[in-house]
Amino acid sequence: MSSVDRTGKIPNNVDLAGDKRLQRALEHWLPLYMEWWNDMGPAGFQTNDIYLRTAVSVEAGGWANFDYVKMPEYRWGIFLTPNDSVNSIGFGDHYGKPTWQEIPGEYRGNLRRIIVTQADTEPASVEQQRFLGTIAPSLYDMRNLFQINVEEGRHLWAMVYLLFRFFGKDGRDEAEELLSRRSGDEDKPRILNAFNEACDHWLSFFCFTHFTDRDGKFQLASLAESGFEPLARTCDFMLTEEAHHLFVGETGLDRIVKRSAELTRETDGDPTRAGGIPIDMIQRAINYWFTFSLDLFGGEISSNAANFFGEGLKGRFKEKSRYEDHVMKDGIKVVPQVISGRLIEDEVPYRNAINEVLRDEYIDDCQRALRKWNRTLEKSGLGIELSLPSRRFHRHQGIYADHPFDPEGNLITKEALEANSSRWLLNTEDNDYLVSIMNQVIEPGKMANWIAAPSRGINGQALEFEYVRL
Ligand code: BYC
Ligand code: FE
Ligand code: FE
C-alpha cells in the first residue's frame, strides 16, 4: 500500500501518480463531478467558510484534519485502509483462498452491480438534503449537514475510483450515469427506493441519517468482508466517516425528543402551540424512514444475495468475529411468509435468506438507539414511549410488500390500512407543519425552539463557536 499523496489534484493513497492513464481519466471526471456538485449539492453556502474535517491520512484516530474550508474547495480524495499482510477470503465457496487484487472475470457483472448500487446512494443523499441548509436550526447543525454532504461526495469518489480502475470503459460509463441520475426524478431516478423520497425538513434529515445512513453502515460492513480486496478496504475506510453521520442522526433525534417532551409539558399536551414537534409526529417519522430503510436490505428471499455470499463478494456483518460457520451451505432460516392470506413460518435455505440475516442485525441496532430516546422520554415523566414498527409494515420490497400490515405486523385489510395510514406515517400535513416551523437560526450557539442544544460542540469547540461563517 502506497503512502498518502496530498499534493495532486486528487488526494489518494492508491499511487495514482504511478498510473498516469488512470490519473488522467479521474482528473477528467473531476470537473464533471464539480458541475454536479454545483448544480445538485447544497443550495447556497458554497462561498462560506465551514469548519469541516477532511480525511488526510488512513491511520486510526489520526486521519481527520479540522479547518475552515469552502465546500467547492473540499479535498475529495481516494483512501483505502492499508493492509500489508496477505489475506484470505473469509466466507462462501472460496473460503480460505487468497483474496483477489483484481476482479475475477466470472464475478465482474455482480461486482459492477454492487459497486454501482453503493455508489448511487451517495450523490442521491446529497441531492435529497440540498435545501436543508436554508432552514438549519443552528450553525452547529448546519455544519454537520455540510460535513455529511462532502463526505457522501467522497464516498462517491471512493466507488468511482473502483469503477475507473477495474471496469474500463464500462466503469467510465457507469461513473457518468452516476452524475446523471437524480433523486426523485421520474425519468432518471436513483436506483434504491429510499433515495428517491423527499427529505424536506430536519425531522426527516435526522431520521434519514439515523435509519438510512445506518443501512450504509451494515452494507459497508458486509462489503468490507469482500474477497475483492480493493472493495473491502475502500468500504472499511468509508465506515470511519459513517460513524459521524449516525451520531448526527441519533443525537439529533434525541435532542428533538427532549425538546418535544419539554414543550408538551409546558403547553399541556400541544407542543405545536409553541412551534414544537408532537411526539406522535416523531413516531410517524420513525415509522416512515425505518420502513423505507428496511427495504434497502433487499428481498427476504434472494438468489442475488445467495450468489453474492457464495461467490465471496459480500459477507455478513462482522463475519469473522460473529459467526463460526463461514460457508453455510446447508443451513436454513425461518422466515414468516403470507400463504393463502395467512402468515406462516416457512424454512428458507440460509444463503437465500441472507438479506434477512443482515436486516436482523440492523433492527437490533435500531432498537438500541430507541431505548436511549425512551430513557430521555422517561425522564420527562410524560408516560409516552416510542417504538419501532414491525419489519412487515409499510414495505415496498420483498415478500411483505404486496400485503397490508399494521405497525404491529398483523395482516389487516387494505381498507384498514388506507384508513389509518395518515395516523401511522408521516403525512402531507405533518410535512407542511414541519417546514413551517423550521426557520434558519444563524446566531452562534442559538438553537431553534423545536430542538434541544447538543451536549457538546464539534472537535472540542464550544457550542458558541462559529461553525459556519456567514
Ligand atoms: N429499492 O434480490 P433482491 C448508503 C431490487 S446505503 C429499489 O431482493 P438484492 C448510504 C434489486 O436491485 C447502502 N430496488 O435484492 C446511506 C433487484 O433488481 P433487479 C447502499 C430494490 O439484490 C445514506 C430486485 O429488486 N449500499 O451507503 O439481494 C446516505 C430484487 O432484488 C431495492 C448497498 O445497497 C430497493 N430498496 O439486494 C448515503 C450495497 N431492493 O435485479 C449512503 C450494495 C432491492 O430485479 N447493494 N431492489 O433489477 C446490494 O447489496 C443489493 O443491491 C441490495 C439489494 C442489498 C440493495
Ligand atoms: Fe456514504
Ligand atoms: Fe453516510
pTM of the model: 0.98
pLDDT of residue 441: 98
3-state per-residue secondary structure call for 95-161? CCCECECCCCHHHHHHHHHHHHHHHHHHHHHHHHCCCHHHHCCCHHHHHHHHHHHHHHHHHHHHHHH
With beta carbons less than 8 A apart as the criterion, state whether 77 and 166 touch.
Answer: no
For the chain, domain boundaries? 16-469
DSSP 8-state class, residue 388:
P
Residues around ligand 2, an ion, CB closer than 5 A: 122, 152, 155
CA separation, residue 304 to residues 182, 206, 298, 313, 354 (Å) = 25, 31, 9, 11, 10
pLDDT of residue 1: 52
Residues around ligand 3, an ion, CB closer than 5 A: 213, 216, 242, 245
Give pLDDT < 70 ranges for the chain.
1-2, 84
The CB density around residue 340, as the number of other CB atoms within 10 Å, is: 5
Ligand 1 atom with the smallest distance to the CA of 300 is 8
Any ligand 1 atom below 6 A from CB of 296: yes
Any ligand 1 atom below 6 A from CB of 146: no
Tell me which residue has its CA closest to atom 10 in ligand 1: 216
pLDDT of residue 60: 79
With beta carbons less than 8 A apart as the criterion, state whether 166 and 102 touch.
Answer: yes
Distance 73 CA to ligand 1 centre (A): 32
| Lookup: cell for 460 | 472540542
DSSP 8-state class, residue 307:
H
Biggest alpha carbon–alpha carbon distance for the chain: 67
Query: Which of 117, 195, 348 to mutate for ligand 1's pocket (most ligand atoms within 8 Å of CB)?
Result: 117
Any ligand 1 atom below 6 A from CB of 304: yes
Q: Which class for 109: exposed (0-12), middle (13-18), buried (19 or more C-beta within 10 A)? A: exposed
Any ligand 1 atom below 6 A from CB of 310: no
Q: Can you tell me the distance from the alpha carbon of 104 to that of 117, in angstroms, rounded to the nearest whole number? A: 19
The CB density around residue 54, as the number of other CB atoms within 10 Å, is: 20
What lies within 8 Å, CB to CB, of 408 at 6+ separation is 389, 390, 393
With beta carbons less than 8 A apart as the criterion, state whether 214 and 362 touch.
Answer: yes
Q: Can you tell me the distance from the alpha carbon of 314 to that of 293, in angstroms, rounded to the nearest whole number? A: 19
Residue type, 132: L
Any ligand 1 atom below 6 A from CB of 216: yes
pLDDT of residue 397: 98
pLDDT of residue 84: 66
Question: What CATH number belongs to 16-469?
Answer: 1.10.620.20
Any ligand 1 atom below 6 A from CB of 297: yes
Any ligand 1 atom below 6 A from CB of 152: yes
